[in-house]
């Protein structure tokens, strides 16, 4: 009977009082306090902050930046091209090809990137010259410059990982698509180019962005074999003036700048290519832009939140 | 019936196993040009497998399948069958249309792009001509208003009608239908069946695996019942449906009619 009286009291509309999110405000206070403490401690740290922007624009640093970008692009290009080839070989019906691809992935994914860099860099110790016997022969040291060793070490390592990414992409394409392509008389190579690859792209692109961003930072490994990228530039600076933390900080700043730019690029490329046309829900997301009902401030006051 | 006596499709003693499971145990079937043959029977009877063998999506273990006088997947020379390359098989498949239970439209292409894909890529027809044919075919299956939609934006029945148009665009000599209406909501079945009915009326040679007894009775020239990998009974639908001789056909029909 109680319920009935409640119901009788109800007249039309009443305001809704959202649940107070005390945990969110408490965590906000703790985090802000920790940040303030950190900033204050930085002011007392023995870092000459004025040197950081100075080193940031040093000629050596800019050259290092240029080498980092160049090495990243060269390694990713090598990794992607070889990776796609290896992935296609891996799914080949030719057992020799698929076994060879397996072996390649096993070796280049199994060894540490740093070790691979050292091996390529020191190749001349094992082979004084490289070439085809009786035809061409070149001194190994002429061919394998630090930069080339960097591209081989990091690029081949990347290609082994990338082959697995591409393979996952291939596997994501429904076999019915391949049968449909066959039924209209498409050759296997056409099916790969026109049906499998384009559909595998939406699975392949997001991890490609991740790998690219990883590669930007990974190129710092090449500093140990003398590629003049950002990290080696920073250490050259502090070797001359002993401003170690300052030089490292300005290199860190540059890495943040490139990584941020790459992240923006990744966001746009994913938006353009990674929409899943076989899924109506994501199609809608691409076609109609919607306001985010789960923004930061709305969540702090507990309004309009998705339940799960 | 067409004038020629040489069948468009001739299957001789077709055997197929998946591992130890023998799915087809010696299938013999002739289909004349212009005929509509419906393959009926319970699931697991080998109907779909046989259909897939007809355009070499499955490789048969024994026997031969001739389509248009040529062995499917092989080249005959001095009493031997030589296996042919995948690209040569592709040329054979181009003349045989296939419609799948799950439609299998290319999900990254619009309805129109699905239909022009084969003519442009395989038949090397110029894009303008391919487009004109595609428009004509999409109009025929009643899908021209949806030409620029992606498969995910279409209902199952609409996707299946586009899939039929995609097959027809190759100008096939033979059309294979693998349970074309089994994945559809009941209210969408009719649209697809009426497209198939009009194809049959135009004289297209069709082999249809189906559970639509009504369609088989009305459209088929020949009804074929398959159980456990063998053909148990075949004949004119009017005869076999009203007067089945084989015991298993009687049992099957009593359940579905």
Per residue in A204-241, is it b (16+ CB within 10 Å) or e — as a string?
A: bbebbbebbbbbbebbbbbbebebbbbbbbbbbbbeee
What are the chain B neighbours of A278 within 8 Å (beta carbons)?
107-108, 151-152
Q: Contact, B150 vs B198, CB < 8 A?
A: no
Q: Which of A184, A188, A288 to mutate: most B Cβ within 10 Å?
A: A184
Across the interface, of A182, A185, A279, the residue whose CB is closest to B152 is: A279
Shortest CA distance from A195: residue in chain B:
B106
Average pLDDT of chain B? 94
What are the chain B neighbours of A194 within 8 Å (beta carbons)?
117, 121
Rounded to whole angstroms, the Cα distance separating B59 from B49 reads 10
Chain A residues at the B interface, defined by Cβ less than 8 Å, are 174, 176-177, 179-188, 190, 194-195, 198-199, 277-280, 283
More reliable by pLDDT, A285 or B257: B257
Query: Are A277 and B108 in contact (CB < 8 Å)?
Result: yes
Residues with Cβ within 8 Å of residue A102, at least 6 apart in sequence: A90
Shortest CA distance from A177: residue in chain B:
B104
Q: Contact, A161 vs A83, CB < 8 A?
A: yes
pTM: 0.82
Q: What is the pLDDT of residue B93?
A: 96
Distance (Å) of CA A269 to CA A209, A215, A289: 9, 18, 17
SS3 A204: helix
pLDDT mean over B107-132: 96
Rounded to whole angstroms, the Cα distance separating B134 from A285 reads 30
Residues in chain B: 257
What are the chain A neighbours of B149 within 8 Å (beta carbons)?
none
What are the chain A neighbours of B150 within 8 Å (beta carbons)?
277, 283
Rounded to whole angstroms, the Cα distance separating A141 from A127 reads 9
Q: Measuring CA to CA, which residue among B121, B164, B125, B124 is closest to residue B141?
A: B164
| Phi, psi of B155, deg, nearest 5 | -75, 165
Q: Measuring CA to CA, which residue among A83, A40, A29, A87 is closest to residue A212?
A: A83
Rounded to whole angstroms, the Cα distance separating B68 from B36 reads 16
Environment class of residue A154 by beta-carbon count within 10 Å: exposed (0-12), middle (13-18) or buried (19+)? buried
Q: Count CB pairs under 8 A between chains A and B.
A: 84
Distance (Å) of CA A60 to CA A55, A202, A226, A229: 9, 39, 14, 9
Q: What is the pLDDT of residue A208?
A: 95
Number of neighbouring beta carbons within 10 Å of residue B179: 21
What are the chain A neighbours of B169 within 8 Å (beta carbons)?
184
ipTM topping 0.85: yes
- How many angstroms separate the most distant Cα atoms in chain A? 104
Query: Are A183 and B97 in contact (CB < 8 Å)?
Result: yes
Q: Contact, B170 vs A184, CB < 8 A?
A: yes
List pLDDT tens digits, range A229-271: 999 999 999 999 999 999 999 999 999 999 999 999 999 888 8
Shortest CA distance from A173: residue in chain B:
B107
Q: Contact, B235 vs B222, CB < 8 A?
A: yes
Compute CA B126 distance to the chain's CA centroid, rounded to the nearest angstrom: 27
Rounded to whole angstroms, the Cα distance separating B81 from B75 reads 6
Shortest CA distance from B155: residue in chain A:
A280
Q: What is the pLDDT of residue A18?
A: 82
Query: Are A174 and B104 in contact (CB < 8 Å)?
Result: yes
Q: Is the pLDDT of residue B184 over 70?
A: yes
SS3 A90: helix
Residues with Cβ within 8 Å of residue B133, at least 6 apart in sequence: B115, B116, B119, B125, B169
Environment class of residue B26 by beta-carbon count within 10 Å: exposed (0-12), middle (13-18) or buried (19+)? middle
**Mean pLDDT per 10-residue run, chain A (308 residues)?**
68 81 93 96 89 94 97 98 96 95 97 97 92 87 94 97 96 96 95 94 92 96 96 96 95 96 91 62 48 69 62
Query: Are B118 and A184 in contact (CB < 8 Å)?
Result: yes
Q: What is the pLDDT of residue A137?
A: 87
Q: How far is B173 from chain A (nearest CA, A)?
A: 12
pLDDT mean over B19-40: 96
């Amino acid at each position: 009977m109680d319920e009935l009286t409640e119901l009788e009291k109800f007249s039309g509309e009443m305001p809704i009082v959202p649940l107070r999110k005390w945990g969110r405000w408490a965590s906000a206070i703790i985090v802000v306090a920790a940040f303030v403490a950190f900033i204050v401690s930085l002011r007392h740290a023995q870092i000459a902050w004025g040197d950081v922007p100075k080193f940031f624009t040093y000629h050596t640093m800019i050259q290092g930046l240029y080498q980092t970008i160049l090495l990243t692009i060269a390694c990713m290009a090598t990794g992607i091209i070889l990776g796609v080839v290896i992935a296609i070989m891996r799914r080949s019906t030719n057992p020799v090809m698929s076994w060879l691809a397996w072996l390649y992935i096993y070796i280049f994914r199994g060894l540490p990137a740093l070790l691979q860099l050292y091996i390529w860099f020191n190749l001349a110790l094992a082979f004084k010259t490289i070439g085809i016997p009786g035809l061409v022969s070149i001194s190994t040291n002429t061919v394998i410059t630090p930069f080339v060793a960097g591209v081989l070490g990091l690029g081949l390592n990347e290609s082994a990982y990338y082959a697995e990414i591409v393979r996952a992409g291939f596997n994501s394409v429904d076999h019915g698509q391949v049968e449909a392509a066959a039924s209209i008389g498409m050759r296997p190579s056409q099916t790969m180019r026109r049906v499998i690859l384009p559909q595998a792209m939406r699975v392949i692109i997001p991890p490609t962005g991740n790998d690219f961003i990883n590669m930007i930072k990974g190129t710092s490994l090449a500093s140990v074999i003398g590629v003049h990228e950002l990290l080696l530039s920073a250490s050259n600076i502090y070797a001359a003036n002993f401003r170690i933390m300052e030089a490292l900080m300005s290199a860190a700043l540059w890495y943040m700048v490139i990584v941020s730019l790459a992240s923006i690029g990744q966001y746009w490329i994913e938006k353009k290519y990674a929409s899943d046309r076989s899924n109506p829900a994501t199609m809608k997301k691409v076609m109609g832009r919607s306001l985010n009902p789960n923004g930061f401030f709305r969540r702090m006051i507990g309004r309009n939140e998705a339940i799960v | 019936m067409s004038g020629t006596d040489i069948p468009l499709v001739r299957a001789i003693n077709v055997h197929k196993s998946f591992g130890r499971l023998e799915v087809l145990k010696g299938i013999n079937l002739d289909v004349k040009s212009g005929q509509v043959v419906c393959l009926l029977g319970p699931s697991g009877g080998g109907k779909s497998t046989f259909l897939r063998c007809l355009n070499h999506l499955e490789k048969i273990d024994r026997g031969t399948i001739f389509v248009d006088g040529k062995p499917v997947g092989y080249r005959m020379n001095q009493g031997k069958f030589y296996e042919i390359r995948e690209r040569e098989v592709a040329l054979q498949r181009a003349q045989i249309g296939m419609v799948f239970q799950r439609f299998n439209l290319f999900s990254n292409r619009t309805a129109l792009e699905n239909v022009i894909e084969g003519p442009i890529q395989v038949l090397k027809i110029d894009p303008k001509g391919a487009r004109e044919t595609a428009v004509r075919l999409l109009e025929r299956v009643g899908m021209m208003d949806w030409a620029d939609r992606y498969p995910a934006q279409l209902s199952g029945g609409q996707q299946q009608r586009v899939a039929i148009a995609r097959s027809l665009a190759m100008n096939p000599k033979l059309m294979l239908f693998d349970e074309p209406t089994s994945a559809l909501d009941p209210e969408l079945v009719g649209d697809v069946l009426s497209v198939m009915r009009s194809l049959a009326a135009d004289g297209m040679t069709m082999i249809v695996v189906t559970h639509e007894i009504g369609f088989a009775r009305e459209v088929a020239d020949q009804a074929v019942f398959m159980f456990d990998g063998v053909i148990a009974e075949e004949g004119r639908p009017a005869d076999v449906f009203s007067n089945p001789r084989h015991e298993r056909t009687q049992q099957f029909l009593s359940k579905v009619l």
